[in-house]
Amino acid sequence: MAFDLYAAFVPTTRQLLGALPGVIAKAEEFVAENHCSDAELIEARLADDMWPLPWHVRSCWMHSAYALDQLAGTEFTPDFTSIPDSWDAMLAMIAEAEDRLADATPEAVNSIAERKIDFVLGGETRFTLPGERFLLGFNLPNFQFHATTFYDILRMKGVPLSKRDYMGNPAGPMFQS
C-alpha cells in the first residue's frame, strides 16, 4: 500500500477533535456540581509559563483545520488572534475545525506531500519542510500535545475524565453511527 498523507493525518485529528466536546461537557458538569466558577477551569494552566486552557483549543484548531488551509500554499504562519473565552466559544472553534476536516479530500491533502512549506513566525522564515513532514512532524505532534494538555489541565483541576474521554471513538467520526 502506498503512503497516504490524508489517512495518516485527517482521521486521527478528527478522532481527537471529536472527543473534545465531551471533555468540555464534563468540565461544565463539574463546575455546576462543585460550585466552582467557569473561570477557575478556563484560566487554569499546568505551569505558570504555559498557556491557559482556551489556548490549547485554539492550538488544536490551528494544527488541524488551519494547517490544511495554510499548507495549501507555501507558508504556515501561526494565528493567535482569536482565543476562545468561554466553553461555547471553544465548542464553536472545535466545530469549525471538525467541519474543515470533514471537507478535506484525500486528493487535496495528499497533494501537499512534496510541496516545500516555510514556517514563518514574526515575519521571519524559521525553517522549511516538505508538506508531508510539516503535517506529520510538526502539526500532528503539536495538535496531540495541545489536545493532551487540554485534557491534563481539566484532569488536574479534578474533572473526572478517563482515557476514553480523551481518545473519543478510535474508529473515528467517519465510522460513527
**Per-residue pLDDT reduced to its tens digit, 27-74:** 999 999 998 999 999 999 999 999 999 999 999 999 999 999 998 889
CATH number, domain of 154, equals 1.20.120.450
- Per-residue three-class SS string for 87-131: HHHHHHHHHHHHHHHHHCCHHHHHCCCCCEEEEEECCEEEEEEEH
Question: Is 172 within the bounds of a domain?
Answer: no
Reported pTM:
0.93
Q: Pick from 88, 66, 83: which is nearest to 143 by CA?
A: 66
Per the CB < 8 A criterion, the answer to whether 38 and 144 are in contact is no
Question: Is 76 within the bounds of a domain?
Answer: yes
Question: Is 170 within the bounds of a domain?
Answer: no
Question: Is 12 within the bounds of a domain?
Answer: yes
**Total structural domains in the chain?**
1
Dist. CA 131–CA 106, nearest whole Å: 14
Model pLDDT, residue 172: 64
Question: Is 92 within the bounds of a domain?
Answer: yes
Q: Which domain holds residue 54?
A: 5-161
Backbone conformation region of residue 20, classed left if phi is above 0, alpha if psi is from -120 to 50, else beta: alpha
Model pLDDT, residue 173: 60
Question: Is 31 within the bounds of a domain?
Answer: yes
Per the CB < 8 A criterion, the answer to whether 166 and 39 are in contact is no
Question: Is 77 within the bounds of a domain?
Answer: yes
Question: Is 141 within the bounds of a domain?
Answer: yes
